[in-house]
Structure formats: structure tokens, C-alpha cells
Amino acid sequence: MAQNCLKCLKYIMCAVNFLFFISGAIMLGYGVYLTGYQTHSLLKSMKFLTVANLLLVSGIIVTCVSFLGFIGALKENRCFLLTFFILLLILMLVELSVACLLLIYESKISKVLEEDLNAGLQHEKNNNSTMTHLKSDWNLVQKTFSCCGVNGSSDWGTQVPQSCCPTPADIPCLPRDSEKQEEAASSLYPIHAKGCLGALKEWFENNFLTTGIAVIALCVMEVLGMCISMTLFCHISSSGLSYKL
């Protein structure tokens, strides 16, 4: 009976880690794809913190950790299982630490974030002559959340990017003539009025419960993964199977 339970745990761990490996590979691939489209971060002080880079790092971590768990369980390798356990423990501690810091320093983080977003937006304005073809995460955020600028479209001045417009890319809502740029910022044109900082805050507030449940579910899965890996590790050790591959 005990052997059957251990085999069941082994194959469950293999299946779950295989699914995570596939998910990590998709994230990694999408991150590579986005590197050709997003070249600048929203934040000036953290230029490396782009959506593409986040997906790349997350994909690498997920694929590596899930690969260790899959091979460790399949081959009953103590070294891989122990490494998998340690990495999951580190990831869970980091996630909980970040969540606690966000809750404790929420107001300070919000203020610093607004200042950094404004600095990043000014940097984009100064370094992009054609704002309608802006190549940064601003495009992705403004299109996703139907917003414009940090606090509103006025943040861009007369250089409002195309991503601030709800119309398709092939139907420009902003006139290309430089003489009409000032007129473009008026309410006659369908530019998103909501600022991205407010849109992001609103999204997090509306999805606070869902985000919390997702974080708790992730931590529970990590704890279960650690328990299963340590159970298999102890079984392999007691059976004298050593570090076989």
C-alpha cells in the first residue's frame, strides 16, 4: 500500500512539473518574442525591468525548477529532489517577503512609483522623435488598460503616442501634421483620458481578492511540492537507491 502511494506521488509530481515546464517554456518564448517590440522600461531608474525581461526571467526560473522536479521524481535522484526543495523554499520566502513589503510600504512605494513613471515618460519623450511608433512598455500598458500617460494624456504634451488612441493602428486618431498637434490633444479626438497610474491602481483594487487567492494558491502548491519532494527523498534514502540517474 505504501509503495503504491509513493508511486502515485511520484507520477503526480512528474505530471505537475511537466505542466509547469511547458508553461515556463511558453513564457520564455513569449519573452523572446517581445524583446523585438519592447525596448524600454516604464521606469527610468530600472531600465532592465521590462515586460519582456520579466517574462524571460520568470520563464527561465519556472523551466529550470520544474525540470529538476520532473527529472528528480522520474529518476528518483536525491540530488535533484533536494535542489528542487531548496529552490522552492527560496522562491516561497522571496514571494512572501515581497508581499509583506508591498503591504507595509504601500504609500511610499506608490509615491516613488509615480515619480519614476513620470521620469520614465519624460525620458521617452526626449528620446523618441516619432511618438506614434513608440517602442517601449508604455505601448503595451496604454493599450491593455486603455489609459494614457501617468496621470493623463497631457503628460505627453503634443507628442501623444498612437497607443493612447482606441482606434485601430491603420486609422490614426491623431493628425500627422505638426501644425495640428495642439489640436490633437483636445477633446475632439478620442484619446484615453484616464492616466495609467490610476488605471493600474484601480485594476489592483478590483483584482485584490483574485491576486491574493492566486498568491496563496501558488504558496500552497510550492509547499505541497516541497512535501512530496522531501517524502520521495526520504524514501529513496531509506531504500539505499543513492544518486542513481
- pLDDT at site 75: 87
Report in angstroms the alpha-carbon separations of 233 from 3, 75, 203, 220: 14, 11, 42, 20
- pLDDT at site 52: 80
Nearest to 229 by CA among 9, 57, 58: 9
Burial of 47 (0-12, 13-18, 19+ CB in 10 A): middle
In tens, the pLDDT along 15-50 reads 999 999 999 999 999 888 877 765 666 776 666 777
Extract the C-alpha cell encoding 179.
Answer: 501644425
Burial 5-20, CB ≥16 within 10 A → b, else e? ebeebbeebbebbbeb
In tens, the pLDDT along 68-103 reads 999 998 888 889 999 999 999 999 999 889 888 888
State percent of the chain over pLDDT 90: 22
Nearest to 32 by CA among 48, 61, 54, 65: 54
219 Cβ contact partners less than 8 Å away, ≥ 6 residues apart = 92, 95, 96
Question: DSSP assignment, residue 187?
Answer: T
d(CA 199, CA 142): 9
Q: Which residue has the cell 515618460?
A: 121
Q: Are 104 and 96 in contact (CB under 8 A)?
A: no
Nearest to 66 by CA among 47, 80, 79: 80
Q: Residue 186's pLDDT band (boundaries 50, 70, 90)?
A: very low
The amino acid at residue 192 is H
- pLDDT at site 188: 47
pTM for the full model? 0.73
